[in-house]
């Protein structure tokens, strides 16, 4: 390294997002996409837990357009309403051709279920199959505030 090199300012370093070519559009992709409506029915019993597994979940990576595969697990304690399973299946199948990051899938599903059912609590876990040698598991939860 010469004295001239030391005096030359370094090139600005791109952020990891810019370096990878990811944009704000990629990050927010699918969050507001229209999906089939969730439907509910009146809960008839107190204090129990419902667990639902969807082992054939698919979506599309908004950056690469490659398919993502995984299992979504939904666990919740219903208050006044329970999820109707056929509507849930149609809703989850609506992600099949949707470009959305795995982290956003789990958080959007949680948001939409909480909005539809107003449960006591809810947890959504997405276990996505390996791509590039790495698997991803994303878990998001919500707990009702007792006022």
Domain residue ranges of the chain, discontinuous segments joined by +: 62-147
pLDDT number for residue 19: 54
Catalytic hit among 32, 39, 61, 147: 61
31: its two tokens: 């969050």
Q: What pLDDT does 2 receive? A: 53
Quote the pLDDT of residue 96: 97
Token pair for 110 = 């949680």
User: Does the annotation mark 68 as catalytic?
Assistant: yes
Active site residue 122: no
pLDDT in the model for residue 13: 46
Q: Residue 74, exposed/middle/buried by CB under 10 A (0-12, 13-18, 19+)?
A: buried
Which class does domain 62-147 fall in? alpha beta
**Catalytic choice (3, 53, 68, 122):** 68
**Positions in the chain short of pLDDT 70:** 1-20, 147
Q: How far, in Å, CA of 105 to CA of 32, rounded?
A: 11
137 within 8 A of 127, measured Cβ to Cβ = yes
């Amino acid at each position: 390294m010469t004295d001239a090199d030391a005096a030359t300012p370094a090139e600005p370093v791109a952020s990891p997002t810019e370096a990878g070519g990811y944009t704000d559009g990629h990050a927010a992709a699918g969050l507001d996409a229209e999906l089939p409506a969730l439907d509910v029915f009146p809960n008839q019993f107190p204090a129990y837990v419902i667990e639902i597994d969807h082992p054939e979940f698919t979506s599309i990576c908004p950056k690469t357009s490659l398919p993502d595969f995984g299992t979504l697990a939904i666990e919740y304690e219903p208050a006044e309403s329970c999820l109707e399973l056929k509507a849930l299946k149609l809703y989850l199948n609506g992600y099949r051709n949707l470009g959305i990051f795995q982290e956003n899938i789990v958080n959007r599903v949680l948001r939409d279920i909480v909005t539809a059912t107003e449960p006591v609590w809810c947890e959504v876990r997405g276990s996505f199959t390996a791509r590039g040698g790495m698997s991803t598991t994303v878990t998001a939860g919500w707990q009702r505030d007792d006022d």
